[in-house]
């Protein structure tokens, strides 16, 4: 099954696309519910709650995570298949260039985490969580995309018998309980966040396969399908991202060497992965919080690399470790920290909860709408 790209759909990249469009997206009547000082206090209260409860409920332990990796390791994630999102790379002239290193700034820690399960001796049922920082220099910077990325990147060892849709859903439900609990926690600390204009997260997520959403909205491109379905279900987990749907295109492009999107799950459906999306009542837009999945085993890794024309990746140590059964089978994902905090604290822009660089035009546009980004 060759992987194809729908030029009419918005699969090529995230974000708004241009600042004229962004100007229509940012709310014109915005007032932050919290002061800058309260925002920082609430931010760390929510962050600490999520880290503590993720570890407790999923049996994870916090571990350190790299900011830079060796380019030759194959551990970094390129986030695409056409070379359009490449990592920041630099040369370390170690020992007067006798033993140099070509280093890359991490774009995601997906592959590193799975290798780390072996390094830290994790058995099935045990896992790790990281306070990950990354740089994605090719993003278009808008209200919820930044060149600076922060995530709770987690990974958990599983058995072969747990590589199924039921186990995936059970894990997603636990994560959702943590996020909903964090919302309740910060609202107790900061009652101003209890605003009737902004309803709380529902108690439960709705699980939908990408094929189901396509059936519901066959004439809409991907992001518009997500926007439409979130009017009916304000919090969803979309299953099966990466495999070509019945229209011939994937719901969204997904790398071939971490999530398993090729495994059949019945009813002509594929994929043991997915995304958590919610409706953001402040921005009145779709809002992605997490991407996760059961990871490839040696059979599905080879199949997905073959489908995407990337069998040459098998030369890398990470891929060899999977093929040779040297690292655990696992499930894992990333939960966007700033994305989540932006939602829980009722913010209109990512820059209100994270410090990074923003274009002058964006800062001026935000300031005119009482949105004051950090820098």
Catalytic residue flag (residue 41): no
Helix (H) / strand (E) containing 112: helix 110-119
Q: Choose the catalytic residue: 6, 38, 70, 288.
A: 288
Catalytic residue flag (residue 197): no
Strand blocks (E) in the chain: 60-63, 68-70, 89-92, 101-105, 127-135, 148-157, 206-209, 235-239, 264-266, 269-270, 273-280, 285-294, 330-336
Q: Choose the catalytic residue: 51, 107, 136, 162.
A: 136
**CB of 358 closer than 8 Å to CB of 141:** yes
One-character DSSP codes across 309-374: T-GGGGGSHHHHHHHTT-S--EEEEEEEHHHHHHHHTT-S-GGGTS-----HHHHHHHHTTT----
Q: Choose the catalytic residue: 77, 142, 153, 183.
A: 77
Catalytic residue flag (residue 352): no
**Cβ count near 202 (within 10 Å):** 15
Reading phi first (left if > 0) and then psi (alpha if -120 to 50, else beta), residue 59 is in: left
Catalytic residue flag (residue 136): yes
* 33, two tokens: 């519910």
Catalytic residue flag (residue 8): no
Catalytic residue flag (residue 288): yes
Half-sphere exposure of 181 (CA within 13 A, CB side): 15
CA-wise closest residue to 354 among 333, 338, 371: 338
Q: Choose the catalytic residue: 104, 107, 151, 290.
A: 151
Rg, Å, the chain Cα set: 20
**CB of 343 closer than 8 Å to CB of 280:** yes
Q: Choose the catalytic residue: 275, 338, 346, 352.
A: 275
Task: Give the phi and the psi of residue 244 in degrees, each rounded to 5.
Answer: -65, 130
Q: Choose the catalytic residue: 107, 146, 290, 291.
A: 291
Strand partners, 131: 152
Only one residue has tokens 């849709």, namely 165
Half-sphere exposure of 58 (CA within 13 A, CB side): 34
Active-site positions read: 77, 136, 151, 275, 288, 291
């Amino acid at each position: 099954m060759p992987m194809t790209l729908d030029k009419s759909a918005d699969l090529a990249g995230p974000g708004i696309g241009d600042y004229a469009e962004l100007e229509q997206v940012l709310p014109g009547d915005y007032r932050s519910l919290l002061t800058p000082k309260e925002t920082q206090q609430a931010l760390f209260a929510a962050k600490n709650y999520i880290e503590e409860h993720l570890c407790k409920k999923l049996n994870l332990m916090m571990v350190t995570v790299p900011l830079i990796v060796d380019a030759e390791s194959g551990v970094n994630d390129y986030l695409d298949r056409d070379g359009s999102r490449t990592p920041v790379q630099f040369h370390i002239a170690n020992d007067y260039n006798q033993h140099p290193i070509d280093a890359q700034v991490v774009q995601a820690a997906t592959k590193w985490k799975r290798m780390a399960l072996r390094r830290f001796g994790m058995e099935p049922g045990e896992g790790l969580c990281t306070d990950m920082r990354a740089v994605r220099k090719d993003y278009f910077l808008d209200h919820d995309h930044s060149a600076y990325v922060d995530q709770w990147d987690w990974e958990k060892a599983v058995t072969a018998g747990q590589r199924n849709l039921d186990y995936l859903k059970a894990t997603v439900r636990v994560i959702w309980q943590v996020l909903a609990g964090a919302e309740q926690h910060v609202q107790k600390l900061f009652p101003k966040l209890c605003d009737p204009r902004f309803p709380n997260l529902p108690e439960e997520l709705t699980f939908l396969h990408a094929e189901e959403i396509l059936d519901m909205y066959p004439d809409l491109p991907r992001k518009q399908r997500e926007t439409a379905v979130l009017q009916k279900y304000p919090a969803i987990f979309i299953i099966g991202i990466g495999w070509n749907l019945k229209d011939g295109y994937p719901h969204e492009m997904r790398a071939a060497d971490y999530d398993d999107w090729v495994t059949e799950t019945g009813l002509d459906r594929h994929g043991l992965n997915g995304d958590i999306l919610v409706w953001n009542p402040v921005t009145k837009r779709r809002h992605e919080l997490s991407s996760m999945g059961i990871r490839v085993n040696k059979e599905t890794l080879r199949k997905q690399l073959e489908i995407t024309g990337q069998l040459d990746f098998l030369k890398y140590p990470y891929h060899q470790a999977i093929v040779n059964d040297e690292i655990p089978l696992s499930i894992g994902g990333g939960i966007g920290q700033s994305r989540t905090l932006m939602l829980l604290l009722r913010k209109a822009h990512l820059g209100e909860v994270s410090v990074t660089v923003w274009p002058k035009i964006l800062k001026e546009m935000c300031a005119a709408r009482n949105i004051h980004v950090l820098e």
